[in-house]
Copies of this chain bind each other. A is one copy, B any other.
Amino acid sequence: MRMGIYGYGNLGRGVELAIRQNPDAELVGIFTRRDPSTIKTLTGAAVYSRDELESMKDAIDVLVICGGSATDLPEMTPALAKGFNVIDSFDTHANIPVHFEKVDAAAKAGGKLALISAGWDPGMFSLNRLYASSILPEGKDYTFWGKGVSQGHSDAVRRIPGVADARQYTCPCEAALDAVRAGENPELGTADKHERVCYVVAEEGADRARIENEIKTMPNYFADYRTTVHFISAEEMKKEHSELPHGGFVIRTGKTGMCGEHSHVIEYSLKLDSNPEFTASAIVAFARAINRMAKRGNTGCRTVFDIAPADLSPMSPEELRAHML
């Protein structure tokens, strides 16, 4: 499958690397809004201006759109789905239905196939919520995130006067995880399930007590959460906190039996050293499915819910049944 990458940030670089791990995938090129000559790729992949994309339609089977969910993808994915089989990682959960409709109309108009919201949440976590709730209808599911870097929260801390640099980790509360696993079905809001840990490099002479107080009382971002603030040196920040780890848990507990006398716990968890590289790896697997489904004549928009798992694997149906079932 011949793949293109549209946008070259953390996710685009992850897709570039993930393609190397899949012998049936080939990277045609990276397409950018910037001046291509200013971009040095990780693997030496070709870089083109996005204006050249149109002329390379026949060279690309699936185009991975690596843009932000706030402003990029709502425009880019519908526009590109008219001419290409596309896949994106749109992750603003509340706006997925609107995004789906726009991409579906565009892809159908162009006779192309699109997959939105691939990755791990939305993505693998969504699939696990669906499988678990379908199997255990009398139950409750919980999603916990972390331990992982939240870019938005890190940025919010960096905007506080006196902060030279900051990194914020979202961490699941162990006590909440334990209560869920024990089948206690607790009522938990996001702030009950997570705590926030900040690593801050203060400017010289800055008032650390004031910074810590401003973080802990920041509405929406921190005020509702148990928040811990650690002041560290710039060297320590660089050495210990320059990666983008993430992960989390999807847990469903449910009951079966004559009177609900049997409890069951289904748990799916991810521990990821690199959030963008894992997301990119999931995207490449789903791109394989989109390529196959497009060749079978499918058009319009899909989500991970619509993809038969066999289409994700490089193995044949016979191999899957013999070795994986």
Task: Give bound CA distance, A117 to B17, whole Å.
Answer: 36
Chain B residues with CB under 8 A of A130: 309-310, 312-313, 320, 324
Could you tell me which residues of chain A, from 96 to 154, have a CB within 8 Å of some CB in chain B? 96-97, 100, 117, 122, 124, 126-131, 133-138
Q: Is the CB of A324 within 8 A of B258?
A: no
CB distance from A139 to the nearest CB of B (A): 10
| A176 contacts chain B at the CB level, 8 A cutoff | no
Task: Give bound CA distance, A99 to B313, whole Å.
Answer: 22
Q: Is the CB of A265 within 8 A of B274?
A: no
Q: Is the CB of B136 within 8 A of A322?
A: no
Q: Is the CB of A262 within 8 A of B282?
A: no
In the complex, per-residue mask of A14-25: 1 if CB is within 8 Å of any chain B CB, else 0: 100110011000
In the complex, per-residue mask of A299-317: 1 if CB is within 8 Å of any chain B CB, else 0: 0000111111110111001
Task: Give bound CA distance, A219 to B203, whole Å.
Answer: 69
Name A131's contact: one of B124, B261, B277 (CB within 8 Å): B124
Task: Give bound CA distance, A133 to B324, whole Å.
Answer: 10
Could you tell me which residues of chain A, from 138 to 175, have a CB within 8 Å of some CB in chain B? 138
Task: Give bound CA distance, A292 to B262, whole Å.
Answer: 29
Q: Is the CB of B324 within 8 A of A126?
A: yes
For this complex, 23 residue pairs linking A to B, each with C-beta atoms less than 8 Å apart, are A21-B256, A22-B137, A96-B325, A97-B318, A100-B321, A128-B268, A130-B313, A130-B324, A131-B285, A134-B312, A135-B282, A256-B274, A256-B280, A261-B273, A264-B273, A265-B269, A265-B270, A265-B272, A266-B270, A267-B268, A268-B268, A304-B325, A306-B317
Chain B residues with CB under 8 A of A304: 309, 325
Most B CB atoms within 10 A — which of A137, A285, A321?
A321
| A89 contacts chain B at the CB level, 8 A cutoff | no
Task: Give bound CA distance, A182 to B312, whole Å.
Answer: 26
Q: Is the CB of A273 within 8 A of B262?
A: yes
Chain B residues with CB under 8 A of A131: 124, 127, 285, 309, 312
Task: Give bound CA distance, A97 to B262, whole Å.
Answer: 33
In the complex, per-residue mask of A21-50: 1 if CB is within 8 Å of any chain B CB, else 0: 110000000000000000000100000000
Name A325's contact: one of B265, B269, B303, B325 (CB within 8 Å): B303
Chain B residues with CB under 8 A of A124: 131, 135, 266
Name A307's contact: one of B243, B277, B303, B308 (CB within 8 Å): B308
CB distance from A131 to the nearest CB of B (A): 6
Name A96's contact: one of B117, B312, B322 (CB within 8 Å): B322
Name A256's contact: one of B122, B281, B305, B309 (CB within 8 Å): B281
Chain B residues with CB under 8 A of A271: 264-265, 267
Task: Give bound CA distance, A285 to B254, whole Å.
Answer: 14
